[in-house]
A and B are shown apart, each in its own frame.
Chain A
Amino acid sequence: MTIRLTTAAAAIALLFGTGGALGNDKPTDPQIAHIAYTAGVLDVEAAKQAIATSKNKTVVEFAESMLRDHESVNKQALDLVKKLNVTPEDNDTSKSLSQAAEAKRQELAKLKGEEFDKAYIEHEVAFHKQVNGALETSLIPSARNAELKSLLETGLKLFQGHQQHAEHVAAELK
């Protein structure tokens, strides 16, 4: 369990770290939009899996919050790219994120009950921590458009809240 989590976290860290999938070049706005949107979609999918699988009220409520918030933010992101006439551009970071999420989804699909709850919540803590790190150190500083930057900053504030919420639920499950 711990090993698996560490691996997932390391994979995400690698994506955003220097010399990772993004290389040394700063991501462009269309790439940033794609990465942020993808991260949101992946967390929505994870939330749907948790809602369908978990029988723990606290875990289901947390997942419902993730679903509600990430869908809202992604709707804002879509509205913004439409307004700016930007086409989100697929890139290696988005692809790696999706692959890591698919592996996690399959791993979680084998678990039930408390085991599932703990694994899902701990992954949520790790996922938000990594995405927040990426927003702070790479995506926000690289964003050129002011409105995109502002949306990412709002996202960071929200996802920091999600991370704390997940940490709180994780502590409750122990």
Chain B
Amino acid sequence: MFITRAATVLFSMGAAVMATPSQAETIHVAIDRLVYRPAEIEAKVGDEVEWVNRDALVHTATVKGGADVILPAKKSGRLVLQEAGSFDYFCRYHPNMKGRITVRP
């Protein structure tokens, strides 16, 4: 009983300590005239990327064999980064649009 309660307290404290310094952030990437700006971003696991599509065209942010975010004209789309690594992405409809996300653990 005592052990269980102590463990619960410890676990809670641990969670609190962990949560404070690693607040998830939202990183904004604009799409303007078929260009991701900035084209390269750095983030950490748990952060979110928001693409704001300023074009009057439909775009996507697509990782080959991975995420595929549809970005309707003049709208935005979001993706929570769940995995560390370096990811090249592109627009399926305009394959010469390219970007990269580097995700730290």
Contact surface of A with B, Cβ cutoff 8 Å? 65, 68-69, 72-73, 75-76, 153-154, 157-158, 161, 164-165, 168
> Which residue on B lies nearest to A62, using beta carbons?
B93
- Cβ–Cβ contact B93 & A72, under 8 A: no
Choose, from B44-52, B61-69, B81-89, B94-102, the stretch at the interface.
Answer: B94-102
- Cβ–Cβ contact A161 & B97, under 8 A: yes
Contact surface of B with A, Cβ cutoff 8 Å? 33-34, 55-58, 73, 93-97
- Cβ–Cβ contact A158 & B93, under 8 A: no
- Cβ–Cβ contact B56 & A165, under 8 A: no
- Cβ–Cβ contact B56 & A75, under 8 A: yes
- Cβ–Cβ contact A165 & B57, under 8 A: no
C-alpha gap A107/B96 in the complex (Å): 30
**12 A–B pairs (Cβ distance < 8 Å), ordered by A:** A69-B57, A69-B93, A73-B57, A75-B56, A154-B33, A158-B57, A158-B94, A161-B94, A161-B96, A164-B95, A165-B95, A168-B95
Contact of B56 among A76, A153, A157, A161 (CB under 8 A): A76
* Minimum CB–CB distance for A5 against chain B, Å: 23
